[in-house]
Amino acid sequence: MPGRVINPLSRLPARRPGSVRRMSSLAIEPAGGWDEGVVVEAVAQDSVAGPGGGAVAVLAAASVTAAMDAGSRLTAVSGDVPAGVAGALAGMTPVSGFRKELARLAGVGLDPHSLLAALLDDLPTVRLISGYARLIETPPLVTNGRTQAPVLNICRGWAADGTASRLAASGHSVITGTPPAPAFGKLLADAAGTMGEPALRPRSMRRRRILDVVPAGPDVEVFQYFRDSHIDAGGGEGSLHEYLMTARLSAGDLVVRAISVEPRALPFPECPLAAPHAQLLVGLSTNDIESAVRSALSGTTGCTHLNDTLRFLRFAGRLISARGHG
């Protein structure tokens, strides 16, 4: 059994000339206490790097602010959200089935491959992320001798026979801290193209993504960085879940030719055991990546956050197309 992974990335690789990047950042804060609801401020940007180290051009940007009540119902959605989309989302609960509902909103102005769709697509994870903040910040809530915890077998880290479930069953704290992570601006210091994001606030969570695509002969090379962070009461940021992913796609049909996942920070010793299962996606098109991840990496075969990382590959086609227009 491997130990817990606590090796947050200190610097991103330099951005490659000609690459198209989709970057997003979600700031998640409690509305009072974590059990009282949350407020989400989210921003995203698409950009293209010029050839030979040329200037970076911003292709598109989007922002969303959302509020959820104690029952995880959306009570407000604003920002770059069409009125028809905002109206449809009001009162919805971003849990199972929410992403299918988003797909149905194409008729009222939600492009499923857009920056806005990418931000809204992350809302179902907000409840899970806030749950980790509660586990880190507060003493364990014990009922009948057991710490309150997510549904068992939802992922490899929460397998019924794993470290987290054993700690929960014995009434102990499941997780008490995160390894220090560099400020996001420092991580990007030698990578062209930055994006303004909401300021870090104590006792909050942050989800960040970077997806780069660049042509390489008959293929497309893909790089992705994913990090969920917790910001403690003193403003220190720690990496809770962090992955690097590289992939090679065939340029014509976007079929995955090769893929590699490197865990950099994960909360439980069993979590890294999910990463090798990303190989199950080889031979499948990123156009079908969502259904492929659901079928191949469900339950203890996968990791909720790894699956979210892999699902983001569905935007590769849009970025390739944007590169041509850019």
- Going by pLDDT thresholds of 50, 70 and 90, the confidence category of residue 191 is low
The pTM of the full predicted model, rounded to 2 decimals, is: 0.93
Residue 325: predicted pLDDT = 52
Residue 193: predicted pLDDT = 59
Share of the chain above pLDDT 90, in %: 60
Residue 153: predicted pLDDT = 79
- Whether residue 158 is predicted with pLDDT greater than 70 in this model: the reply is yes
User: What mean pLDDT do residues 197-206 have?
Assistant: 92
d(CA 208, CA 74): 21
d(CA 122, CA 62): 14
- Going by pLDDT thresholds of 50, 70 and 90, the confidence category of residue 41 is very high
Residue 184: predicted pLDDT = 86
DSSP β-ladder status, 204-216 and 146-147? unpaired
Report for 184-198, 220-234, 312-326: range of highest mean pLDDT: 220-234
Residue 239: predicted pLDDT = 96
- Whether residue 161 is predicted with pLDDT greater than 60 in this model: the reply is yes
User: What mean pLDDT do residues 128-157 have?
Assistant: 78
Q: Where are the alpha helices (DSSP H) in the chain?
A: 83-89, 98-103, 115-121, 126-137, 163-169, 184-187, 289-296, 304-311, 316-325
* Lookup: tokens for 308: 């979210």
Name which residue leads in pLDDT, 2 or 294.
294
The answer to whether the CB of 76 falls within 8 A of the CB of 66 is yes
Assign 3-class secondary structure to 66-117: EEECCCCCEEEEEECCCHHHHHHHCCCCCCCCHHHHHHHHHHHCCCCCCHHH
Tens digits of per-residue pLDDT, 44-90? Answer: 999 998 887 668 889 999 999 999 999 999 999 999 999 999 999 99
Residue 147: predicted pLDDT = 66
Lookup result for tokens 């969570």: 205
The answer to whether the CB of 174 falls within 8 A of the CB of 162 is no
Which of 265, 245, 248 is CA-nearest to residue 257? 248
* Lookup: tokens for 154: 């939802």
Residue 226: predicted pLDDT = 97
Which residues contact residue 118 at a Cβ distance below 8 angstroms, ignoring those fewer than 6 apart? 22, 24, 44, 312, 315
Tens digits of per-residue pLDDT, 84-94? Answer: 999 999 999 99
User: What mean pLDDT do residues 173-178 have?
Assistant: 83
Query: What is the SS3 assignment for 95?
Result: coil
Angle between helices 304-311 and 289-296 (to 10 degrees): 160
User: What mean pLDDT do residues 143-169 have?
Assistant: 78
Residue 167: predicted pLDDT = 82
Tens digits of per-residue pLDDT, 232-264? Answer: 999 999 999 999 999 999 998 999 999 999 999
- Going by pLDDT thresholds of 50, 70 and 90, the confidence category of residue 192 is low
Indicate the average pLDDT of the chain. Answer: 89
Q: Cβ of 215: how many Cβ atoms within 10 Å?
A: 14
